[in-house]
Structure 1
Amino acid sequence: MPELQRLRPDHAPALLAFEQENRAFFAASVPDRGDDYFTHFAAHHAERLAEQATGACHFHVLVAEDGEVLGRFNLVDVADGSADLGFRLAEKATGRGLATATVRELFSLSTTAYALTTLRAAAAVTNTASRAVLTRTGFVPTGEEPILSGKRGVGYVRELATGPSGGV
């Protein structure tokens, strides 16, 4: 069973392989990272870890039993109990409910480890897979229509229940 892990320095080789192997697949629905990301991957990875150390972001990878990275699940722009959720799953890992299950797992981490009460997300109108994951996990449209790399998007929000009777 894949495991959600907080991003660490030793994830770098598997994470780079994940990004390279899925670059074309991701570019069909989310903005491409660009050549610089791949050329200077080590520096970008170090920047993410430094950013995470400040508490402004919480980066996670979904790791298979063999150490292969199957997905990224990130909480960014953390402030005042809220954060923006972004995720991407390897093409070969889609269609098995992994994204939905991992987003739900992130709800628990968000409340217990990061003291978050609200998550925001956005997906391009054409990104039906991500929009389905968001809907299945209780995100609701906000009415906002962000432009994501030139594409019309849908904004979402998810309140996270906390406390003994709340749960997520």
Structure 2
Amino acid sequence: MPELQRLRADHAPALLAFERENRAFFAASVPDRGDDYFAHFEARHAALLAEQAAGVCHFHVLVDTDSNGEGEIMGRFNLVDVADGSAELGFRIAEKATHCGLATATVLQLCTLAATEYGLTTLRAAATLDNTASRAVLTRTGFVPTGEELLLNDHPGLGYVRSTTGEVRGSAEL
């Protein structure tokens, strides 16, 4: 059963493999990270860990550990731009892990962590109009459209918001 883990330095090799393996899949619905991301991955990973240590972001990976104890990353679930009890949620899940409820269950788990571990009361998110899977996950996990129309790397999108203090409208378990 996959486990949500806070990002650590030792996740770097599996995280890079996850990003490389799913690059084309992600690029179909979210902006591509670009070649520079992969060329300077180690430095980028260290910078993320520094941001996390400073408390301005909370990065997580969904790890599926095999019988040998080796962990494969199935998704990323992040809370960024933490300020004044609020943060922006971002997530991506491996192509082979889609359509099985993992994204919904993990977003719900992260919403609970946001409230109980990080003291956040409001989460924001955004998704492009053509990213129906992410928009469905957001809706199932209690996010509501703000009515704000956005441009996400030149693609039209919608903003979403969710309180972490009220009753969760979606439900799922990992």
TM range (shorter): over 0.9
Aligned identity (percent) is 76
Aligned to 1:12: 12
Q: CA RMSD in A?
A: 0.8
User: 2:110 corresponds to which letter in structure 1?
Assistant: L
Offset, 1:25? 0.2
SS where residue 18 of structure 1 aligns?
helix
Q: Which amino acid aligns with 1:122?
A: A
CA shift, 1:112, in A, is 1.0
SS at match of 1:75: strand
Residue in 2 that maps onto 1:139: 143
Match of 1:117 among 110, 121, 129: 121
1:140-155 paired onto structure 2 within 5 Å: 140-155=144-159
Supply the AA of the counterpart residue of 1:32: D
Please state if 1:51 is matched with 2:55. Answer: no
Alignment of 1:86 onto 2:75? no
Task: Return the alpha-carbon distance in structure 1 between the equivalents of residues 167 and 51 of structure 2.
Answer: 28
Residue 167 of structure 1, CA deviation: 6.0
- Mapping 1:15-94, distance limit 5 Å: 15-66=15-66, 67-94=71-98
* Alpha-carbon spacing, 1:129–1:115, altered in 2? closer, same or farther (3 Å): same
Any idea what SS the aligned residue of 2:110 has? helix
Return 5+ residue gaps in structure 1 as ranges: none
Partner of 1:145: helix, strand, or coil? strand
- In structure 2, the residue matched to 1:3 is 3
The SS at the match of 1:146 is strand
Cα displacement string for residues 114-165 of structure 1 (whole angstroms, at most 9, x for unaligned residues):
000000000000000000000000100001011001000010000111xxxx
Aligned to 1:127: 131
Which amino acid letter does the alignment assign opposite residue 146 of structure 2?
T
Task: Quote the offset at 1:108 in angstroms.
Answer: 1.1
SS in 2 for 1:141: strand
Unaligned runs of 5+ in 2: 169-174
In the TM superposition, what whole-angstrom CA distance separates every residue of 1:83-132 from its partner, at most 9, and x where no partner exists? 00000000000000000000000011101110000000000000000000
Q: Which amino acid aligns with 1:146?
A: L
Cα distance in structure 2, aligned partners of 1:65 and 1:11: 12
TM-score, normalised relative to structure 2: 0.93
Count matched residues. 164
Paired letter, 2:130: T
Equivalent runs, 1:97-116 vs 2, <5 Å: 97-116=101-120
